[in-house]
Homo-oligomer: A and B are copies of this chain.
Amino acid sequence: MIRLTRSYPFSASHRLHAASLSNDVNADLYGKCNNPYGHGHNYVMEVTVAGDVQPRTGRVVDLGKLDQLVRSLVVAPLDHRNLNEDVADFANVVPTTENLVSVIQTRLKNRWPPDFPKLSRIRIFETRKNIFEVQVGA
Q: Which residues on the B side are within 8 Å of A84 (C-beta)?
A: 37
Taking A58-B99, A99-B58 as contacts, is the C-beta distance between A3 and B39 under 8 angstroms?
A: no
Task: Kindly report how many copies of this chain are found in the complex they form together.
Answer: 6
Q: Which of A32, A53, A85 has the most CB of B within 10 A?
A: A53
- Tell me whether B58 and A4 are in contact (CB under 8 A): no
Judge whether B82 and A38 touch: CB under 8 Å: yes
A88 within 8 A of B: no
A9-B127, A98-B59, A98-B60 known; A4 vs B132 contact (CB < 8 Å): yes
Closest 10 CB pairs of A and B: A40-B40, A37-B82, A13-B13, A13-B40, A58-B96, A58-B94, A37-B85, A32-B80, A5-B131, A7-B129
A31 to chain B: which residues have CB within 8 Å?
Answer: 64
Residue A6 interfacial (CB < 8 Å) = yes
The SS class assigned to the A binding surface is mixed
Q: List 11 A-B contacts (CB under 8 A).
A: A1-B135, A4-B132, A5-B133, A13-B40, A33-B80, A37-B84, A37-B85, A40-B40, A53-B96, A57-B94, A59-B98
Give the most central of A4, A37, A131: most B CB within 10 Å.
A37
Q: Do the beta carbons of A4 and B38 come within 8 Å of each other?
A: no
